Amino acid sequence: MSVKRYSSMEYDNFEDLLFGHSKYPVKTGLGLEIGAGYTTAEINYAPRPDAAKNKATLVNEYERITRDIMERMVQVGFPSVVLETEHVQQMTNNPTWGGEVATAQKAIMEKYHDEYGIKCALRHTVGDIRGDRESIDLRGDAYSRILESFEQVASSGADMLSIESLGGKEVFDHAILRNDMRGVVFSVGILGALDVEYIWQDICSIAKKNNVVAAGDTACAQANTAMFVAGGLLDFKLSHSVASVVRAISASRSLAAYEAGAIGPGKDCGYENNIIKAITGYPISQEGKGSTCAHSDLMGNMAMQCCDLWSNESVEYRGDFGGTTVQCWGENLSYDCSMMNTALEAGVGKTLRDVLMVSDRYRDPQAFILSYDNAYRIGEVITAHPDDLYLRAKEAGMKACELIESGSAGFLELSKFEKATIKKAQNDLKSLDENMESFIDNCLDIYSSEVDTFNPSNYGL
């Protein structure tokens, strides 16, 4: 499949960005239309560790999970739901396992859909198994197994296909621990985007062949790594401003999936999806306060501002006081969606969007740059350089620096340290090479010697 770069924004104005509405809604699954005027909970779960012993125990576990979720949804009267199955590695390594899990889950969902009319869809996120102990082999046998896994789930009941791709991670881990912006731009903006573009052309072909949705990727392995290492307000591990710059750059990486043919909804943990939605007009999944089962969050409300699916990231399946964990967290998410859908029905969606956004806008630099108006502005600089992966990544980072600096003249309070790190990041980005060719040449020299697992041929370089 061919790659089509975005050279303009699909949304004309950031004011038009709103939860539950996307310019290009996605019809999928059993009666569901994502981004067509309502939001839907996307419930994500991990099987109990012992359940992955063999195929039978794993299928049985996912049947329990699926039945529990569907039962709770109808018991409390929610009109729609999405289930996301993120593969444990056994499922991707043994593609038929993933296929059988998808078949079993879909059979239960169909039963509930037939009986109650609940709109529902199943996303399968295949595991990126391309790394092992010694090396990362992005285009070898493991990649073939990934594609086989996609084929199996796409032909067995999964409605939407996703992956959290690893490309660029080996250099990124090295760079982020050294505040090395050159390495960040190279790993996320070049290596990551090349990998995303490569795999999504294949995923889109499989989706097309099986008449399912090529949904989208996330820069989880990069931007979320930075965000989680940065941690809370009193964690002094990594500058939150630097993590924000990584996030802005990561939008250029995640966009590559849509340029290769994906149509959304992008993965929940891609906080850069606000930027992606503004550029592409496709629906997005997001996580925030409903994902505190998995991690703390500095933009728990704000993440709802433009979501079409509202997710809990992941929760281990087990009993809790209010039912099983998937039931408790699913109900929580669905009540949030009910609130958003009520606001839409009542014509006050944009007011609620703004309340959600502004409640977190000044909590953290990352929340500030991802507020829908600023997310839009980052999208604009990315689309201004459609054919230059380097420039669009670098400019996205620069824009984040500029936004944070200007925000600090207003209500966005920055510590002295954050002010210093944003200034340094800005200078580091400014001092990078003029053009992509020399940038890549220099980076190949530097990181081939500094990062032992970095193999340029993984990226066709």
How many residues in the shown chain lie near another protein by CB under 8 A? 43
**Is 49 a binder of another protein (CB under 8 A)?**
yes
Residue in 396, 390, 398 with CA at minimum distance from that of residue 422 = 398
The total of other beta-carbon atoms located within 10 Å of residue 284's CB is 28
**Is 177 a binder of another protein (CB under 8 A)?**
yes
Of residues 3 and 177, the one with the C-beta less far from another protein = 177
Of residues 40 and 366, the one with the C-beta less far from another protein = 366
Distance of closest approach, residue 358 Cβ to another protein, in angstroms: 5
Q: Which range binds another protein by CB under 8 A, 143-151, 154-162, 175-183, 442-450?
A: 175-183
**Is 351 a binder of another protein (CB under 8 A)?**
yes
Burial of 52 (0-12, 13-18, 19+ CB in 10 A): middle
With DSSP H G I counted as helix, E B as strand and the rest as coil, what are the percentages for the chain, rounded to 5? Answer: 55, 15, 30
Beta strands in 39-155 (DSSP E): 40-45, 80-86, 119-126
CB crowding 133-172: b at 16 or more within 10 Å, else e? eeebebbeebbebbbbbbbbbbbbbbbbbbbbbbbbbbbb
**Is 408 a binder of another protein (CB under 8 A)?**
no
Of residues 5 and 55, the one with the C-beta less far from another protein = 55
Distance of closest approach, residue 357 Cβ to another protein, in angstroms: 8
**Is 347 a binder of another protein (CB under 8 A)?**
no
Q: Which two tokens stand for residue 293?
A: 């089962």
Applying the rule CB under 8 A, the residues between 192 and 231 that interact with another protein are 225, 229
Of residues 287 and 360, the one with the C-beta less far from another protein = 360
Q: What is the distance between the alpha carbons of residues 79 and 263, in angstroms, rounded to a whole number?
A: 23
**Is 320 a binder of another protein (CB under 8 A)?**
no
Q: What is the distance between the alpha carbons of residues 183 and 191, in angstroms, rounded to a whole number?
A: 10
Of residues 12 and 50, the one with the C-beta less far from another protein = 50
Beta strands in 306-384 (DSSP E): 309-311, 319-320, 323-324
In sequence order, the 6+-apart residues with CB closer than 8 A to the CB of 272 are 218, 219, 223, 247, 248, 250, 251, 254, 370
Distance of closest approach, residue 244 Cβ to another protein, in angstroms: 14
Binding mask 261-300 for another protein (x = CB under 8 A): ----------------------------------------
Of residues 173 and 405, the one with the C-beta less far from another protein = 173
Q: Which two tokens stand for residue 278?
A: 């503004």
User: Which residue among 361, 377, 394, 399 contacts another protein (CB under 8 A)?
Assistant: 361
CA dihedral 266, 267, 269, 271 (to 10 degrees): 0
Q: What is the distance between the alpha carbons of residues 402 and 319, in angstroms, rounded to a whole number?
A: 47
Distance of closest approach, residue 79 Cβ to another protein, in angstroms: 29
Applying the rule CB under 8 A, the residues between 76 and 115 that interact with another protein are 88-89
* Contact positions vs another protein (CB under 8 A): 15, 46-47, 49-50, 52, 88-89, 131-134, 173, 176-179, 225, 229, 233-234, 236-239, 316, 351, 354-355, 357-363, 373, 411, 413-417
